[in-house]
A and B are shown apart, each in its own frame.
Chain A
Amino acid sequence: MSKEVKIDVRNLTVGYGDYVLLKDASYQVNKGDIFIIMGGSGCGKSSMLRVLTGLIAPLKGDVFIGGVNIAQGKEADVQKIRTKSGILYQSGALFSSMTLAENIMLPLQQYSDYSPATMREIAKLKLALVGLAGFDDFYPSEISGGMKKRAGLARALALDPEIVYFDEPSAGLDPISSKNLDDLIIEINQSLGTTIVVVTHELESIFAIGNNSIFLDAASKTILARGNPRDLLQNPPNQEVYEFLTRGEKK
């Protein structure tokens, strides 16, 4: 039985003005996947994420998320997917003037009819889910980088999203924090059935969490490979993918 397609990207061209980063990219993300968008620096991974989250419009092509095409730059279309997706930014992107609980309550205030007391309890629960129970009254400046990412994840999970996007989740973390975050991603994926899209070039994370992926190539501006990262390592379709997945080893 075929899986439900959550994200359907068709003939997508991403760039800024005249500068094209990626052309005619097509791929699908199935429900429940941990989907990795990988590639070297400057290949357009983060720009691809910005398109998927509706922050920028692509130069060409379509992006269907839950059947809604958000690529036309129409705010109403993008708005439809807001409540269905959460994003963990590289830095956590927590609002520094608010406590962790207030950060998590913000999307709830915008999109739910919960009472303030219930919102606060939900915020506490989400913090507990990411291992930050008791930190609800802390400000972002009072916690470590790894904790900020966890708090950012708690905020991303506030509305029980169907898709969670991660932008370089391991960036700036020590190996243990990075591993813990990877474990958390798998836990969320398995427990909540959330579709996860991760933009990263951290090999350990890629192999630890990814069950599907695309490899973007800066030189050809195309998708050079797709599939399970471990399968790609076993049977690399080309030299570029092999070198990337083996940290530069020559075939």
Chain B
Amino acid sequence: MSKTMNNNLISADIARGNMLVAITGDVVEYNSQDILQKIAHLIAQNPQKVTITSTQLGEWDSSLLLVIYETIRMAKTANIAYDVTTLPQNIQSLISLAFAVDRKPSHNSNNQGGFLERTGRSAIGILTKTTNVLAFFGEICMAIGRFFSFRSIMRRIDFLAALNDCGPRALGIVSLISFLVGLILAFVGAVQLQTFGAQIYVASLVTIGMCRIMGAIMVGIIMAGRTGSAYAATIGTMQVNEELDALQTMGLSRIDFLVLPRLFALLLAMPILTMLADIMGMIGGAFVGVFLMNLPYTEYWRYAFNAFNLTNFLVGIFHGFCFGFIIAICGCYSGLTCGRNADSVGIATTQSVVYSVVWMIVVTGIITVICQEIGI
């Protein structure tokens, strides 16, 4: 039987104006809610004195201390005298320790002040963040300028390591997901197209869909989760380990050293990965068309190639390029602005993925509207 079920270990009562809290036996893992409610009720009756005693006290743990501590706290609040002198000396010492420093309610300075003050603080916060982001973009532009004027301290080995991470090592996951997306696209399309007897156009649907946007979007989402978050976590951990401070005090540009290799690697890898995603998506579509819908193999690919359009393909590649920029910037910015504890690294990682995905969707919308306006 659980020890918490035994609620007779501590009793409380009032006799002749004196309140007595009596403790006996082994008080371990004691569920104190009921007794504390009773004690609060009794203290509300304003006794002259509260006495806490123990007889044959065996084992005890923090749950007993909690009852004693709360009882004394309630008595103090109600200005009622209390007596704990019959309790074991070690318990008295611990209780003294607990009351040694006044407990003050914790507060967050950001939540202080009235509505206007808090609104002002928020406005200043947004302004500061915007300024920081703009400054970050400015620093990147200057770093790119330094790179092309051969004054950058970017290390070639860092670029190659970043490229290896976001290129060859991402091939597997990008291939698999793109294949499955092509497969899903073909299935969904086939259901509708079959009703018109036009299932052969599944090939066109998958080809246009993957090349124009879906390939780039899928690669973007995969790379935001896989690589952008890794950038944020790596740079964030460097912040925690004071490595960023070390760079700064050595006068080395954090942008040249940390951001440029990652940015260039993603700018190079993303268009290539987007091409791979397009191809794997088309293969996924062909898998459904040929093996599940029994469309002739050559016929499927003839329709697929007919639907292939260089403009669509290049628009997709351009998306990939833009997404690469967004993922690198969001990942690195989140890492560089990370706090100095483990929790902050988690926040920075999450933030990088969320910002990347949101900005990718925003940029996709902008590119789509522009393409619509210029007729491509």
Contacts of A106 in B (CB 8 A): 250, 252
Could you tell me the distance between the alpha carbons of A54 and B250 in the complex, rounded to whole angstroms? 11
- CB A152 to nearest CB in B, in angstroms, measures 8
Interface pair A110/B252, CB less than 8 Å apart: yes
User: With contacts defined as CB atoms under 8 Å apart, how many contacts are there between chain A and chain B in the complex?
Assistant: 46
B242 beta carbon closer than 8 Å to chain A: yes
> Which residue of chain A has its CB nearest to the CB of B246?
A93
A89 beta carbon closer than 8 Å to chain B: yes
Contact of A110 among B153, B242, B245, B246 (CB under 8 A): B153
A79 beta carbon closer than 8 Å to chain B: yes
A87 beta carbon closer than 8 Å to chain B: yes
In chain B, positions 332-375 with a C-beta closer than 8 Å to chain A are: none
Contact of A55 among B153, B249, B252 (CB under 8 A): B249
Interface pair A89/B158, CB less than 8 Å apart: no
Could you tell me the distance between the alpha carbons of A16 and B263 in the complex, rounded to whole angstroms? 32
Q: Which of B242, B243, B246, B248 has the most CB of A within 10 A?
A: B246
Contacts of A10 in B (CB 8 A): none
A106-B252, A110-B250, A110-B252 known; A93 and B153 CB under 8 Å? Answer: no
Interface residues on A, range: 20 to 34
A30 beta carbon closer than 8 Å to chain B: no
Contacts of B197 in A (CB 8 A): none
Instruction: Kindly list the 3 A-B residue pairs having the minimum CB-CB distance in the complex, ordered from nearest.
Output: A82-B251, A93-B246, A93-B242
Interface pair B242/A54, CB less than 8 Å apart: no
B86 beta carbon closer than 8 Å to chain A: no
> Which residue of chain B has its CB nearest to the CB of A107?
B250
Could you tell me the distance between the alpha carbons of A79 and B251 in the complex, rounded to whole angstroms? 7
A11 beta carbon closer than 8 Å to chain B: no
Contacts of B242 in A (CB 8 A): 89-91, 93
Could you tell me the distance between the alpha carbons of A109 and B253 in the complex, rounded to whole angstroms? 13
B161 beta carbon closer than 8 Å to chain A: yes
B11 beta carbon closer than 8 Å to chain A: no
In chain A, positions 43-96 with a C-beta closer than 8 Å to chain B are: 50, 53-55, 79, 82-83, 85, 87, 89-91, 93-96
Could you jot down 18 A-B contacts, CB within 8 Å? A50-B245, A55-B245, A55-B249, A87-B245, A87-B246, A87-B249, A89-B242, A90-B242, A91-B241, A91-B242, A93-B242, A95-B246, A96-B243, A97-B158, A97-B161, A110-B250, A111-B251, A155-B246
Could you tell me the distance between the alpha carbons of A14 and B110 in the complex, rounded to whole angstroms? 21
Interface residues on B, range: 10 to 19
Interface pair A93/B248, CB less than 8 Å apart: no
A97-B161, A109-B153, A110-B153 known; A89 and B252 CB under 8 Å? Answer: no
- Interface code B136-179, partner A: CB below 8 Å = 1, 0 otherwise? 00000000000000000100001001000000000000000000
Interface pair B245/A93, CB less than 8 Å apart: yes
Contacts of A107 in B (CB 8 A): 250, 252
Could you tell me the distance between the alpha carbons of A96 and B250 in the complex, rounded to whole angstroms? 16
Contact of B249 among A54, A94, A109 (CB under 8 A): A54
Interface pair A89/B250, CB less than 8 Å apart: no
Interface pair B243/A93, CB less than 8 Å apart: yes
A82-B251, A97-B158, A106-B252 known; A89 and B153 CB under 8 Å? Answer: no
Could you tell me the distance between the alpha carbons of A77 and B348 in the complex, rounded to whole angstroms? 32
- CB B347 to nearest CB in A, in angstroms, measures 19
- Interface code B2-19, partner A: CB below 8 Å = 1, 0 otherwise? 000000000000000000
Residues of A participating in the B interface, judged by any CB pair closer than 8 Å: 50, 53-55, 79, 82-83, 85, 87, 89-91, 93-97, 106-107, 109-111, 155
Interface pair B249/A82, CB less than 8 Å apart: yes
Interface pair B248/A55, CB less than 8 Å apart: yes
Could you tell me the distance between the alpha carbons of A83 and B245 in the complex, rounded to whole angstroms? 15
Could you tell me the distance between the alpha carbons of A35 and B153 in the complex, rounded to whole angstroms? 34
Could you tell me the distance between the alpha carbons of A171 and B238 in the complex, rounded to whole angstroms? 19
Given A91-B242, A93-B243, A96-B241, 4 other A-B residues pairs in contact with their CB atoms under 8 A:
A82-B250, A83-B251, A107-B250, A107-B252
Contacts of A96 in B (CB 8 A): 241, 243
Contacts of A155 in B (CB 8 A): 246
Contacts of A55 in B (CB 8 A): 245, 248-249
- CB B128 to nearest CB in A, in angstroms, measures 11
Contacts of A91 in B (CB 8 A): 241-242
- CB B56 to nearest CB in A, in angstroms, measures 38
Could you tell me the distance between the alpha carbons of A106 and B238 in the complex, rounded to whole angstroms? 16
Interface pair B251/A110, CB less than 8 Å apart: yes
Contacts of A82 in B (CB 8 A): 249-251
A55-B249, A110-B153, A110-B252 known; A93 and B161 CB under 8 Å? Answer: no
- CB A11 to nearest CB in B, in angstroms, measures 24
Could you tell me the distance between the alpha carbons of A85 and B250 in the complex, rounded to whole angstroms? 9
> Which residue of chain A has its CB nearest to the CB of B247?
A95
- CB A75 to nearest CB in B, in angstroms, measures 9
- CB A169 to nearest CB in B, in angstroms, measures 13
Q: Which of A50, A82, A93 has the most CB of B within 10 A?
A: A93
> Which residue of chain B has its CB nearest to the CB of A111?
B251
Could you tell me the distance between the alpha carbons of A94 and B251 in the complex, rounded to whole angstroms? 15
Contacts of B246 in A (CB 8 A): 87, 89, 93, 95, 155
Contacts of A110 in B (CB 8 A): 153, 250-252
Contacts of B153 in A (CB 8 A): 109-110
Contacts of A97 in B (CB 8 A): 158, 161
- Interface code B223-254, partner A: CB below 8 Å = 1, 0 otherwise? 00000000000000010011101101111100
Contacts of B249 in A (CB 8 A): 53-55, 82, 85, 87
> Which residue of chain B has its CB nearest to the CB of A110?
B252
Could you tell me the distance between the alpha carbons of A106 and B242 in the complex, rounded to whole angstroms? 16
Could you tell me the distance between the alpha carbons of A54 and B248 in the complex, rounded to whole angstroms? 9
Could you tell me the distance between the alpha carbons of A109 and B153 in the complex, rounded to whole angstroms? 9
Could you tell me the distance between the alpha carbons of A55 and B249 in the complex, rounded to whole angstroms? 7
Q: Which of B243, B249, B251, B252 has the most CB of A within 10 A?
A: B249
